[in-house]
Structure 1
Amino acid sequence: MGSFKREMAARFRMSDLGALTYYLGIKVRQGREALTLGQSAYASKLLERSGMAECKPCVTTMEERLKLTKANTAAKVDATLYRSIVGGLRYLVHTRPDIAFAVVYVSRFMENPREDHWVQ
Protein backbone atom coordinates (compact mmCIF):
# COMPACT_ATOMS: atom_id res chain seq x y z
CA MET A 1 0.00 0.00 0.00
CA GLY A 2 1.37 3.43 -0.92
CA SER A 3 2.01 6.14 1.61
CA PHE A 4 -1.05 8.13 0.49
CA LYS A 5 -3.33 5.13 0.99
CA ARG A 6 -1.83 4.39 4.41
CA GLU A 7 -2.33 7.98 5.52
CA MET A 8 -5.92 8.03 4.27
CA ALA A 9 -6.68 4.68 5.95
CA ALA A 10 -5.29 6.04 9.22
CA ARG A 11 -7.57 9.09 9.07
CA PHE A 12 -10.72 7.62 7.50
CA ARG A 13 -12.56 4.35 7.59
CA MET A 14 -12.03 2.92 4.12
CA SER A 15 -11.29 -0.21 2.16
CA ASP A 16 -9.11 -0.67 -0.90
CA LEU A 17 -11.20 -1.90 -3.82
CA GLY A 18 -8.27 -2.06 -6.22
CA ALA A 19 -7.81 -0.17 -9.44
CA LEU A 20 -10.67 2.03 -10.58
CA THR A 21 -12.41 0.61 -13.66
CA TYR A 22 -15.82 2.28 -13.81
CA TYR A 23 -17.13 5.41 -12.08
CA LEU A 24 -20.35 7.40 -12.66
CA GLY A 25 -20.84 6.05 -16.16
CA ILE A 26 -17.23 6.61 -17.14
CA LYS A 27 -15.05 3.63 -17.99
CA VAL A 28 -11.48 4.02 -16.75
CA ARG A 29 -8.55 2.21 -18.36
CA GLN A 30 -5.24 2.52 -16.59
CA GLY A 31 -2.15 1.73 -18.61
CA ARG A 32 1.53 2.26 -18.03
CA GLU A 33 1.67 5.36 -20.21
CA ALA A 34 -1.81 6.80 -19.92
CA LEU A 35 -5.15 6.90 -18.17
CA THR A 36 -8.04 6.66 -20.63
CA LEU A 37 -11.62 7.67 -19.91
CA GLY A 38 -14.54 6.58 -22.07
CA GLN A 39 -18.33 6.69 -22.09
CA SER A 40 -19.27 4.46 -25.02
CA ALA A 41 -21.92 2.52 -23.07
CA TYR A 42 -23.40 5.77 -21.76
CA ALA A 43 -23.42 7.26 -25.28
CA SER A 44 -25.14 4.15 -26.67
CA LYS A 45 -27.89 4.37 -24.04
CA LEU A 46 -28.33 8.07 -24.81
CA LEU A 47 -28.67 7.30 -28.52
CA GLU A 48 -31.29 4.64 -27.77
CA ARG A 49 -33.26 6.99 -25.50
CA SER A 50 -33.29 9.66 -28.20
CA GLY A 51 -34.35 7.21 -30.92
CA MET A 52 -31.08 7.61 -32.81
CA ALA A 53 -29.45 4.23 -32.13
CA GLU A 54 -29.68 3.23 -35.80
CA CYS A 55 -28.24 6.49 -37.18
CA LYS A 56 -24.96 6.40 -39.04
CA PRO A 57 -21.94 8.15 -37.49
CA CYS A 58 -20.54 11.28 -39.09
CA VAL A 59 -17.25 13.16 -38.94
CA THR A 60 -18.71 16.55 -38.01
CA THR A 61 -20.99 16.92 -35.01
CA MET A 62 -23.01 19.77 -36.53
CA GLU A 63 -23.81 21.06 -39.99
CA GLU A 64 -21.57 23.97 -40.93
CA ARG A 65 -23.17 27.44 -40.89
CA LEU A 66 -26.29 26.00 -39.28
CA LYS A 67 -28.70 28.71 -38.15
CA LEU A 68 -31.36 27.92 -35.61
CA THR A 69 -33.81 30.34 -34.09
CA LYS A 70 -36.01 30.42 -31.01
CA ALA A 71 -38.74 32.22 -32.97
CA ASN A 72 -40.37 29.30 -34.73
CA THR A 73 -43.88 28.06 -35.39
CA ALA A 74 -43.00 24.36 -35.57
CA ALA A 75 -44.69 21.90 -33.24
CA LYS A 76 -43.39 21.66 -29.71
CA VAL A 77 -41.58 18.50 -28.67
CA ASP A 78 -41.59 16.75 -25.30
CA ALA A 79 -39.61 19.32 -23.28
CA THR A 80 -38.78 16.83 -20.53
CA LEU A 81 -37.27 14.36 -22.99
CA TYR A 82 -35.41 17.14 -24.82
CA ARG A 83 -33.91 18.45 -21.58
CA SER A 84 -33.00 14.94 -20.48
CA ILE A 85 -31.17 14.23 -23.74
CA VAL A 86 -29.36 17.58 -23.74
CA GLY A 87 -28.40 17.01 -20.09
CA GLY A 88 -27.03 13.61 -21.08
CA LEU A 89 -25.04 15.21 -23.88
CA ARG A 90 -23.64 17.74 -21.43
CA TYR A 91 -22.38 14.88 -19.26
CA LEU A 92 -20.95 13.14 -22.33
CA VAL A 93 -18.85 16.24 -23.09
CA HIS A 94 -16.56 15.23 -20.17
CA THR A 95 -14.98 12.59 -22.38
CA ARG A 96 -16.02 13.98 -25.78
CA PRO A 97 -14.97 17.65 -25.88
CA ASP A 98 -15.32 17.55 -29.67
CA ILE A 99 -19.12 17.75 -29.32
CA ALA A 100 -19.08 20.66 -26.85
CA PHE A 101 -19.97 23.39 -29.38
CA ALA A 102 -22.96 21.47 -30.75
CA VAL A 103 -24.20 20.62 -27.25
CA VAL A 104 -24.01 24.24 -26.12
CA TYR A 105 -25.78 25.28 -29.32
CA VAL A 106 -28.77 22.97 -28.79
CA SER A 107 -28.83 23.89 -25.08
CA ARG A 108 -30.05 27.34 -26.12
CA PHE A 109 -33.45 25.80 -26.91
CA MET A 110 -34.09 24.00 -23.62
CA GLU A 111 -36.61 26.63 -22.49
CA ASN A 112 -39.00 26.07 -25.40
CA PRO A 113 -37.87 23.17 -27.62
CA ARG A 114 -39.54 22.84 -31.03
CA GLU A 115 -39.67 20.08 -33.58
CA ASP A 116 -37.84 22.16 -36.14
CA HIS A 117 -35.66 25.21 -35.44
CA TRP A 118 -34.30 25.53 -38.97
CA VAL A 119 -34.14 28.96 -40.57
CA GLN A 120 -34.93 28.89 -44.26
Structure 2
Amino acid sequence: MNDLDAISYYLGIEVRQGKKALTLGQSTYASKLLERSGMAKCKAWVTLMEERLKLTKVSTAAKVDATLYQSIIGSLRYLVYTRPDIAFVVGYVSHFMEDSREDHWAAVKRLLRYVKGTVDQGIVFPKTDRSRLQLTVFSDVDMAGHIDGQRSTSGVLIFLESAPISWLSAYR
Protein backbone atom coordinates (compact mmCIF):
# COMPACT_ATOMS: atom_id res chain seq x y z
CA MET A 1 0.00 0.00 0.00
CA ASN A 2 1.33 3.44 -0.96
CA ASP A 3 0.95 6.72 0.90
CA LEU A 4 -0.20 9.23 -1.72
CA ASP A 5 0.19 12.32 0.51
CA ALA A 6 -2.62 14.71 1.34
CA ILE A 7 -5.38 15.14 -1.22
CA SER A 8 -5.24 18.40 -3.17
CA TYR A 9 -7.76 17.91 -5.98
CA TYR A 10 -10.77 15.58 -6.22
CA LEU A 11 -13.57 15.56 -8.81
CA GLY A 12 -13.03 19.20 -9.72
CA ILE A 13 -12.86 20.30 -6.10
CA GLU A 14 -9.65 21.92 -4.88
CA VAL A 15 -8.67 20.85 -1.36
CA ARG A 16 -6.29 23.03 0.64
CA GLN A 17 -5.15 21.69 3.99
CA GLY A 18 -3.56 24.19 6.34
CA LYS A 19 -2.60 24.11 9.99
CA LYS A 20 -5.78 25.91 11.05
CA ALA A 21 -8.35 24.89 8.41
CA LEU A 22 -9.38 22.68 5.52
CA THR A 23 -10.70 24.63 2.51
CA LEU A 24 -12.76 23.29 -0.38
CA GLY A 25 -13.14 25.40 -3.51
CA GLN A 26 -13.75 25.26 -7.25
CA SER A 27 -12.05 28.38 -8.60
CA THR A 28 -10.66 26.58 -11.68
CA TYR A 29 -14.06 25.04 -12.42
CA ALA A 30 -15.80 28.40 -11.95
CA SER A 31 -13.34 30.10 -14.31
CA LYS A 32 -13.93 27.45 -16.98
CA LEU A 33 -17.68 27.86 -16.51
CA LEU A 34 -17.36 31.61 -17.07
CA GLU A 35 -15.34 31.00 -20.25
CA ARG A 36 -17.84 28.46 -21.59
CA SER A 37 -20.74 30.82 -20.99
CA GLY A 38 -18.96 33.75 -22.66
CA MET A 39 -18.77 35.68 -19.37
CA ALA A 40 -15.03 35.38 -18.67
CA LYS A 41 -14.42 39.09 -19.28
CA CYS A 42 -17.67 40.36 -17.79
CA LYS A 43 -17.89 42.97 -15.05
CA ALA A 44 -18.11 41.39 -11.59
CA TRP A 45 -21.29 41.95 -9.58
CA VAL A 46 -21.71 42.05 -5.81
CA THR A 47 -25.26 40.67 -5.57
CA LEU A 48 -26.68 37.36 -6.76
CA MET A 49 -29.96 38.57 -8.21
CA GLU A 50 -32.24 41.55 -8.41
CA GLU A 51 -34.20 42.35 -5.30
CA ARG A 52 -37.80 41.03 -5.47
CA LEU A 53 -37.19 39.37 -8.84
CA LYS A 54 -40.26 37.41 -9.97
CA LEU A 55 -39.77 35.21 -13.03
CA THR A 56 -42.52 33.16 -14.62
CA LYS A 57 -42.77 30.20 -16.98
CA VAL A 58 -45.31 32.06 -19.13
CA SER A 59 -42.84 34.77 -20.13
CA THR A 60 -43.34 36.55 -23.46
CA ALA A 61 -39.62 37.28 -23.90
CA ALA A 62 -37.67 35.70 -26.75
CA LYS A 63 -36.47 32.12 -26.39
CA VAL A 64 -32.80 31.41 -25.74
CA ASP A 65 -30.64 28.42 -26.67
CA ALA A 66 -32.07 25.70 -24.42
CA THR A 67 -28.95 23.54 -24.65
CA LEU A 68 -26.66 26.34 -23.46
CA TYR A 69 -29.08 27.35 -20.70
CA GLN A 70 -29.38 23.78 -19.41
CA SER A 71 -25.64 23.21 -19.62
CA ILE A 72 -24.84 26.35 -17.63
CA ILE A 73 -27.49 25.55 -15.00
CA GLY A 74 -26.10 22.01 -14.66
CA SER A 75 -22.61 23.41 -14.17
CA LEU A 76 -23.87 25.90 -11.59
CA ARG A 77 -25.57 23.03 -9.74
CA TYR A 78 -22.16 21.33 -9.47
CA LEU A 79 -20.59 24.58 -8.28
CA VAL A 80 -23.12 24.71 -5.41
CA TYR A 81 -21.23 21.86 -3.69
CA THR A 82 -18.59 24.32 -2.52
CA ARG A 83 -20.62 27.52 -2.96
CA PRO A 84 -23.80 27.24 -0.87
CA ASP A 85 -24.24 31.02 -1.20
CA ILE A 86 -25.54 30.55 -4.76
CA ALA A 87 -27.84 27.59 -4.02
CA PHE A 88 -31.11 29.54 -3.82
CA VAL A 89 -30.62 31.41 -7.10
CA VAL A 90 -29.44 28.27 -8.93
CA GLY A 91 -32.56 26.46 -7.71
CA TYR A 92 -34.74 29.38 -8.76
CA VAL A 93 -33.41 29.65 -12.33
CA SER A 94 -33.53 25.85 -12.64
CA HIS A 95 -37.32 26.05 -12.78
CA PHE A 96 -37.08 27.49 -16.30
CA MET A 97 -34.88 24.89 -18.00
CA GLU A 98 -37.83 23.47 -19.93
CA ASP A 99 -38.65 26.74 -21.74
CA SER A 100 -35.88 29.27 -21.08
CA ARG A 101 -36.39 32.88 -22.15
CA GLU A 102 -34.32 36.09 -22.28
CA ASP A 103 -35.46 37.25 -18.83
CA HIS A 104 -34.44 33.89 -17.34
CA TRP A 105 -31.06 34.10 -19.09
CA ALA A 106 -30.58 37.65 -17.75
CA ALA A 107 -30.96 36.28 -14.20
CA VAL A 108 -28.39 33.55 -14.96
CA LYS A 109 -25.97 36.13 -16.37
CA ARG A 110 -26.34 38.21 -13.22
CA LEU A 111 -25.50 35.12 -11.16
CA LEU A 112 -22.46 34.45 -13.36
CA ARG A 113 -21.28 38.04 -12.80
CA TYR A 114 -21.50 37.38 -9.05
CA VAL A 115 -19.49 34.16 -9.50
CA LYS A 116 -16.89 36.19 -11.43
CA GLY A 117 -16.42 38.49 -8.44
CA THR A 118 -16.29 35.64 -5.92
CA VAL A 119 -14.47 32.98 -7.93
CA ASP A 120 -11.99 32.20 -5.13
CA GLN A 121 -14.60 31.61 -2.43
CA GLY A 122 -15.31 28.18 -1.01
CA ILE A 123 -16.07 26.31 2.18
CA VAL A 124 -13.71 26.55 5.16
CA PHE A 125 -13.64 23.88 7.85
CA PRO A 126 -11.61 25.19 10.79
CA LYS A 127 -9.76 22.60 12.81
CA THR A 128 -11.35 22.41 16.25
CA ASP A 129 -11.56 20.32 19.37
CA ARG A 130 -14.33 17.86 18.45
CA SER A 131 -15.67 17.77 21.99
CA ARG A 132 -16.79 21.40 21.65
CA LEU A 133 -19.00 21.42 18.58
CA GLN A 134 -22.28 23.32 18.38
CA LEU A 135 -25.01 22.55 15.85
CA THR A 136 -27.10 25.55 14.77
CA VAL A 137 -29.96 25.24 12.27
CA PHE A 138 -31.95 28.01 10.59
CA SER A 139 -34.93 27.51 8.31
CA ASP A 140 -37.25 29.76 6.33
CA VAL A 141 -40.17 29.36 3.95
CA ASP A 142 -41.88 31.56 1.39
CA MET A 143 -45.51 30.46 1.61
CA ALA A 144 -47.10 30.21 -1.88
CA GLY A 145 -44.57 32.64 -3.35
CA HIS A 146 -44.13 30.83 -6.68
CA ILE A 147 -45.98 32.79 -9.38
CA ASP A 148 -46.82 29.85 -11.66
CA GLY A 149 -48.13 27.28 -9.20
CA GLN A 150 -48.50 29.01 -5.82
CA ARG A 151 -45.95 26.55 -4.41
CA SER A 152 -43.83 27.34 -1.39
CA THR A 153 -40.05 27.64 -1.34
CA SER A 154 -38.13 26.58 1.72
CA GLY A 155 -34.52 26.65 2.76
CA VAL A 156 -32.31 25.33 5.53
CA LEU A 157 -28.93 26.54 6.73
CA ILE A 158 -26.90 24.30 9.04
CA PHE A 159 -23.77 25.32 10.96
CA LEU A 160 -21.50 22.94 12.85
CA GLU A 161 -18.97 25.06 14.66
CA SER A 162 -16.87 25.37 17.78
CA ALA A 163 -18.98 26.31 20.75
CA PRO A 164 -17.80 28.81 23.34
CA ILE A 165 -16.94 27.14 26.63
CA SER A 166 -19.49 29.23 28.53
CA TRP A 167 -22.29 28.06 26.22
CA LEU A 168 -21.30 24.41 26.65
CA SER A 169 -21.21 24.61 30.43
CA ALA A 170 -24.75 26.00 30.53
CA TYR A 171 -26.22 23.01 28.67
CA ARG A 172 -24.29 20.04 30.05
Q: Which residue of 2 aligns with 1:82?
A: 69
Q: Which residue of 2 aligns with 1:16?
A: 3
Q: Partners in 2 of 1:50 and 1:102 — Cα distance?
A: 17
Q: Deviations over 1:33-91 (max 9, x none)?
A: 21101111100111111111111222211111111111022222111111110011011
Gap runs ≥5 in structure 1: 1-8, 10-14
Gap runs ≥5 in structure 2: 107-172
Q: TM-score, normalised by structure 2?
A: 0.57
Q: Which residue of 2 aligns with 1:47?
A: 34
Q: Partners in 2 of 1:57 and 1:98 — Cα distance?
A: 16
* Structure with higher strand content: 2
Q: SS where residue 102 of structure 2 aligns?
A: coil
Q: TM-score, normalised by structure 1?
A: 0.80
Q: 1:68 aligns with which of 39, 52, 55?
A: 55
Q: Partners in 2 of 1:116 and 1:64 — Cα distance?
A: 15
Q: Once the two structures are aligned, what percentage of the paired residues are identical? A: 76
Q: CA RMSD in A?
A: 1.5
